[in-house]
Structure 1
């Protein structure tokens, strides 16, 4: 048994099983790709369910695979750091058989890898089997050669894998004996003891039954093998260390944290807790962000935010009061770059996300911590041990301080949080928000309420046609059902079928007309109620419309086509953004009308001009390639197998609509689209901006909208050309350049003239100099002179006249300034320009100062300049006496 690094162990395992005919699979992203019920991948087999269930096959047709899967588990997050066992991020090694081999081969290879490849001593290996699995017991003892004294039979709780109804089966676990010195010392210490002596490191699940969930099991026709071995736990054994934090790659991360904090591990138990928390959480967050998770207030984004903020808080407990996690993540990337090169590719993005979240939390945590601790101090002074739920809610609602952080800090002082009251406050807030939403829905909620329980049918046919005949099923006017409405009445109409698209998925509702003979009802908007009624909202322009009328419903076709173009552009835009910026880009919202498409997406920095240009070009390339666009309804599982992108957080039914744009885009979407990308005409990005932290927005247009932009630009060019007297647009740059050159030339000429005037002014000023204490002093107003020119005058006098003291004032553009210069001889004698300026500006109510030879200041009251100047002779004489 030889010391082996974690990265080497990973490679040894995968290479071994490849040599046994297994397909080597890359780690799946932590964000589940085809498992809606799972927030984050938490086991090696989680991404492989489709293969175990026979819903898909490996690309190479193989029925055996091996992988090292990144995993996140957070149920015990509060224990992370407090023990050396708990962690949220780990890697799971595994080999899998999808109806191929079974117990014989699984045990053969597991034993070979342990004893031949890793060279673990056989006398320190133990194996457990399910108590009724005589077959496995016999295989281990008679064919693998395991001594019966090293075999343990265990019950269903320990050695039978089952989750409700479905495939299940017995397990075999392999243990390593770390030696008596690691044990509890009891005479009966054995496998299964709670102490640290016997470490279970490999679980082999023999999936051979199907359970009906009620205790009945039938053998599977094709049993499977699913094994899992924690990479970090195996590294602990191979490196002879006590826990995952002492494994080589993890330890290097911990050392970086200690270096930043200026602390040493295993010197202070409280600091050790914080070191372990930060070490574990920065591993988790680095990989999560690398796989496209962004900090948010719900779902997996909340898990990420919670881990980052918990780590940041423990950094402060270590004395680190500035963002630092983004630095540590560089070590995480370095330690994992061989197995996960995508971390290196996304390094800048990962660092940016972590740093921004740290900075954001820093604005919250100081105030929040102060309030939590103040409340805890008060409670303990009063002899109370329950943190009020309403105060915990105020911290959360007003200051953004997470309840779990309040809970953790309180627990450190043996105080519990009144979470019942907290949850009650949260419930009130949700109900208030729900009422606000209901108010915002307006007519939709009202329509739903009025029609509740009525036998009304409302079918959408707008994918196939933009006009159809229908029957008026119901009319709502002034909050009530009515039989008819007349000219000028605003109403909501429900039809038996409609071509009008109802506002949904970011696409606005259609406009158009409903006609019946001479009667015209103008539809201004269409919305869909929760139970599926299509509510046409508008006004009767002419005639009378009644329930039961047969009408023609016709969408404004030009407007709908413009909306379709912009909606299809959104799909192409997402594809182009992922291509240019990376796979972390995910839709965070959209709005599509007949003028623009607005697309919000996850990205943590402003796009460069080059990136915007490249994205725009890629979209136009897809448009000009004239890709066919198809929309198909299919079972959701089939759509996921095809790789269709779904909007995170959106609820989908069993049957979904999938829009495909050949090889460019494949998305779940209920909106309306063109049937060929060429119909978009052209695509133009109008604006890129920030919407929220980590969310960017692109506003763009297509078709006629692009022509409108070109027309506007043409007008701007024409106006600019006319203003500078350019004959045509092509001459505009040359004309502007010529005008700029001419302006610069005039500025030079003006400067030269001002310099000449300054020289003349110098001669004039010198002739008016008076003698003070043996030095020539000029004290004069040169109103209208700019401050820069004033300074130049002073510099000229100082350079040419060592015995000169110049005090010059000016009022220019309504502002007074004073400049003072002292020649070299005057400075040697003790005259100080800076002090002279201070004296003058103090008298005028201004301020200023400077060097002994040159100084400048602003005048408060310009009318007092002469008074100040009159006092300078005595000030100069005082300086000469000192």
Structure 2
């Protein structure tokens, strides 16, 4: 039986033998692609290559790509676990051609692999093509032995592929596997393209990428016709392992067995096994998403992760699990997947901690949601209705993460119904908003426009790592998306043959400076890289013409201060990982001349001791006077060197490795040549920017020195105010604190004594009713504690008594009642008395029969409240 690891390796080896570059799976978080929430297909990482914007040193490739789909056709969360084939996380095996081969070779490879390598029976294979693609049908008949009657023509919805409303697209050809009549739905039209039952299994989709769809809908031929194919690893494994469902393959069964151990229940392949399948699927998705840097949050990718994770927890409740459990599945997922994805083992402990914390939060959320449902049911009863509205149910779901099925269960227990139709309508509206928010039709338009303008101009030559001045030729001037031949006193973008200006990238701001000659002085305000060209943005003073020779001058102070901060981020990253753990991965940064900002993954606030240790380590690196070295190499060699690739960055096959002290990172930014040039490093702040995300802000060099000078000046000012020296300031503050506390104690004793004396004068106002002394009065005290103490003291002095005191404390009413044992025996109930009085003052409260307290909002009603208490006491005792 083929294992999943063997199938994956077999596929990649097959195409490597046919001169395809085997490219590592990209992150589930797409790099530089605002149109995608998650990587959802093998071609995502090659999108710019298909558009002709990105150039690679290979023209055909093969991958096993991690994918997540958590929305859209067949991929709504509610579908996962109900069918045998659909998942949130899956792997897509794919081979790609970027202008090297086209339809014929793609078809030959697919048919050969399926029928000769993994030996699928040909009689079980069917083929579909786009109904207008006669070329594809002719090739299938020419290069394979598939029968003509097994080639079916389908429409655009089934057999014309596009990534979105814009971008690469083209006809496709799908290879289907007939699992046999026993899997048929039994319908007379149980046919490919008509029926979507379990008999017909799509296993491999060959996309013949010929066009790019423009924003206006026009189909333009791509620079070179290309190939994009995708075959689901889980699906092909289910066939090769002869399993009824993907969930019975070796990719899922160990996880399901773990769930059996956790629940003490046995998995069944029918409807009863639905919760097992959901948990198994979601365990994989959560593990991979968190390992790729996604953390639970209330928006974007983090919100999808949170929904997936909480859905798994909810189904754990269905199986009787009432405490965090999902984090335990991470070990199983890792053991299954660590051969192709060794990073899972490195990040396993962090992934488990994130999941466990989120589970614990969700259990608190569930309890809050239960209270909200109870409040809704109570309100509905008051309104004489027996339905929880769709809006209420959706609010519970969206705000509290409270699942609809639990809302329905609680409603049913109380004889209520839930307006599920209204709930579903609001859910669909939310999905539509999300779909619109995730679309960015014009995201690549600017790049494509620049690409068309500059396609005949050679790529810009950046030589600014060690050079801040350059003479070069103006190759292009661009204004408002159009090429112009000259520019005079206007804002424009300039492309030169060579440049020392660093373009904004990787969190580092762009260089500033000037481009000049005898006719003009162009102030460079921003520099951006589009495809392979570097564009200098700014305003021309004078006149500049295409073909002019110009001098490019980078602002040296701007560059050096930026480089100080950039090298410091590398040292900070290394120090963080040493102090708090390897899970502290960089999640983003901003490197400017004035400061640096560093975002990293960590679940807790750093202690003062940790911050000091990190700061000390960075400064030790700086003062070690270590050289900073940069090496250009291929990506595999860089990884063998131990270089760290940063989250969210997109790397080409050739990369730049920056080594400083014991830090080795892939980085294209500018750096100092020696750590001593940084001078000094000082952390200004550390705080949370989201669930599991922290941020450090720091300064270096002159800015760090100025920061310390300002702090010293403030200390001098404080010590002068305290009439002491900076060295003695803490001792002086400590002494003042002690004095203040002593004075506060003395003041409290004095207040208590005065209040006690004032309250004792009330003793004469007590009236006796049937042997019980009753005292109801308003007093002048500052807080509820003193009010309570005085009421208890008066009750003790009066003996057989009931005492009710009221006071205005701040902007509220305070009420308290004490009753002796004898008063309680005669029917007095302090809780009832105080509750009735508080209601008069627009408040509430209660307590025991012998002691109760309450508050009220309306201070003008205090006399009325006490009058009510008096009437109730007199009535009870009489």
SS in 2 for 1:533: strand
Q: Deviations over 1:446-481 (max 9, x none)?
A: 7x2794356577432311222233444444456665
Tell me what 1:462 maps to: 464
Tell me what 2:526 maps to: 525
Structure 1 pair 709–73 and aligned structure 2 pair: CA distance change class (3 A): closer
Tell me what 1:806 maps to: 803
Tell me what 1:769 maps to: 766
Tell me what 2:578 maps to: 579
Structure 1 pair 515–157 and aligned structure 2 pair: CA distance change class (3 A): closer
Alignment partner of 1:508 is 2:509: yes
Correspondent of 1:433 among 424, 435, 440 = 440
Tell me what 2:664 maps to: 666
Tell me what 1:555 maps to: 554
Cα distance between partner residues in 2 of 1:287 and 1:474: 48
Cα distance between partner residues in 1 of 2:82 and 2:868: 74
Deviation at 1:797, TM superposition (A): 0.8
SS in 1 for 2:761: helix
Deviation at 1:36, TM superposition (A): 3.4
Q: Please say if residues 471 and 550 of structure 1, whose CA atoms lie closer than 8 Å, have aligned partners that are also in contact.
A: yes
Tell me what 1:701 maps to: 699
Cα distance between partner residues in 1 of 2:458 and 2:778: 91
Q: Please say if residues 294 and 694 of structure 1, whose CA atoms lie closer than 8 Å, have aligned partners that are also in contact.
A: no
**Structure 1 residues not aligned, in runs of 5+:** 1-33, 42-70, 91-154, 161-229, 235-241, 374-389, 400-425
Tell me what 1:226 maps to: none
- Mapping for residues 22-171 of structure 1, pairs under 5 Å: 36-38=23-25, 157=117
Structure 1 pair 292–855 and aligned structure 2 pair: CA distance change class (3 A): same
Structure 1 pair 36–308 and aligned structure 2 pair: CA distance change class (3 A): farther
Q: Deviations over 1:658-697 (max 9, x none)?
A: 22225x1222222111111222222233333444554443
Correspondent of 1:257 among 262, 279, 283 = 262
Cα distance between partner residues in 2 of 1:367 and 1:848: 30
Cα distance between partner residues in 2 of 1:880 and 1:505: 81
Structure 1 pair 341–776 and aligned structure 2 pair: CA distance change class (3 A): farther
Structure 1 pair 303–89 and aligned structure 2 pair: CA distance change class (3 A): farther
Q: Please say if residues 289 and 350 of structure 1, whose CA atoms lie closer than 8 Å, have aligned partners that are also in contact.
A: no
Cα distance between partner residues in 2 of 1:347 and 1:481: 52
Structure 1 pair 615–868 and aligned structure 2 pair: CA distance change class (3 A): closer
Cα distance between partner residues in 2 of 1:828 and 1:707: 76
Deviation at 1:273, TM superposition (A): 6.0
Cα distance between partner residues in 1 of 2:652 and 2:347: 34
- Mapping for residues 272-287 of structure 1, pairs under 5 Å: 272=273, 274-275=275-276, 278=279, 282=283
Q: Please say if residues 293 and 587 of structure 2, whose CA atoms lie closer than 8 Å, have aligned partners that are also in contact.
A: no
Cα distance between partner residues in 1 of 2:867 and 2:296: 69
SS in 1 for 2:471: strand
**Structure 2 residues not aligned, in runs of 5+:** 1-20, 29-64, 70-74, 92-114, 121-236, 242-247, 367-396, 409-424
Q: Deviations over 1:47-85 (max 9, x none)?
A: xxxxxxxxxxxxxxxxxxxxxxxx99999x99999999x
SS in 1 for 2:803: strand
Q: Please say if residues 560 and 594 of structure 1, whose CA atoms lie closer than 8 Å, have aligned partners that are also in contact.
A: yes
Tell me what 2:676 maps to: 678
Q: Please say if residues 634 and 658 of structure 1, whose CA atoms lie closer than 8 Å, have aligned partners that are also in contact.
A: yes
Q: Deviations over 1:490-538 (max 9, x none)?
A: 3333344322211112211111233435954322222223241332324
SS in 2 for 1:563: helix
Q: Please say if residues 450 and 481 of structure 1, whose CA atoms lie closer than 8 Å, have aligned partners that are also in contact.
A: no
Deviation at 1:366, TM superposition (A): 7.2
Deviation at 1:751, TM superposition (A): 1.2
Tell me what 1:653 maps to: 652
- Mapping for residues 661-810 of structure 1, pairs under 5 Å: 661-662=660-661, 664-723=662-721, 725-783=722-780, 785-810=782-807
Tell me what 1:386 maps to: none
Cα distance between partner residues in 2 of 1:582 and 1:253: 28
Cα distance between partner residues in 2 of 1:392 and 1:757: 63
Alignment partner of 1:621 is 2:620: yes
Deviation at 1:563, TM superposition (A): 0.6
Deviation at 1:757, TM superposition (A): 0.9
Q: Please say if residues 291 and 351 of structure 2, whose CA atoms lie closer than 8 Å, have aligned partners that are also in contact.
A: no
Cα distance between partner residues in 2 of 1:880 and 1:765: 20
Cα distance between partner residues in 1 of 2:427 and 2:320: 25
Tell me what 1:816 maps to: 813
Deviation at 1:486, TM superposition (A): 5.3
SS in 2 for 1:658: strand
Tell me what 1:223 maps to: none
Tell me what 1:865 maps to: 862
Deviation at 1:277, TM superposition (A): 6.5
SS in 2 for 1:350: helix
Query: Higher relative contact order at CA 8 Å, sep ≥6: structure 1 or structure 2?
Result: 2
Q: Deviations over 1:830-872 (max 9, x none)?
A: 3333333233333344333333333333344444433454555
Cα distance between partner residues in 1 of 2:318 and 2:575: 44
SS in 2 for 1:525: strand
Deviation at 1:287, TM superposition (A): 7.8
SS in 1 for 2:827: coil
Structure 1 pair 776–331 and aligned structure 2 pair: CA distance change class (3 A): farther
Give the TM-score normalised by structure 1. Answer: 0.58
Q: Deviations over 1:146-165 (max 9, x none)?
A: xxxxxxxxx954699xxxxx
Cα distance between partner residues in 1 of 2:727 and 2:599: 37
Q: Deviations over 1:798-827 (max 9, x none)?
A: 122213433333224343323333344333
Deviation at 1:653, TM superposition (A): 3.5
Q: Please say if residues 628 and 661 of structure 1, whose CA atoms lie closer than 8 Å, have aligned partners that are also in contact.
A: yes
Tell me what 2:351 maps to: 350
SS in 2 for 1:501: coil
Cα distance between partner residues in 1 of 2:431 and 2:604: 27
Tell me what 1:838 maps to: 835
SS in 2 for 1:491: strand
Deviation at 1:745, TM superposition (A): 1.2
- Mapping for residues 192-271 of structure 1, pairs under 5 Å: 253-259=258-264, 263-265=265-267, 269-271=270-272
Structure 1 pair 294–35 and aligned structure 2 pair: CA distance change class (3 A): farther
Cα distance between partner residues in 1 of 2:635 and 2:345: 34
Cα distance between partner residues in 1 of 2:669 and 2:479: 29
Tell me what 2:569 maps to: 570
Structure 1 pair 824–757 and aligned structure 2 pair: CA distance change class (3 A): farther
- Mapping for residues 170-209 of structure 1, pairs under 5 Å: none
Tell me what 1:631 maps to: 630
Deviation at 1:292, TM superposition (A): 6.8
Deviation at 1:707, TM superposition (A): 1.8
Q: Please say if residues 600 and 698 of structure 1, whose CA atoms lie closer than 8 Å, have aligned partners that are also in contact.
A: yes
Q: Deviations over 1:307-355 (max 9, x none)?
A: 9688557646646587531255578899999xx9999997753322333
Q: Deviations over 1:717-759 (max 9, x none)?
A: 2343344x14222222112112211111111111111122123
Cα distance between partner residues in 2 of 1:244 and 1:544: 69
Q: Deviations over 1:239-266 (max 9, x none)?
A: xxx997999x87972442323xxx3456
**Aligned Cα root-mean-square deviation (Å):** 5.4
SS in 1 for 2:502: coil
SS in 2 for 1:835: helix
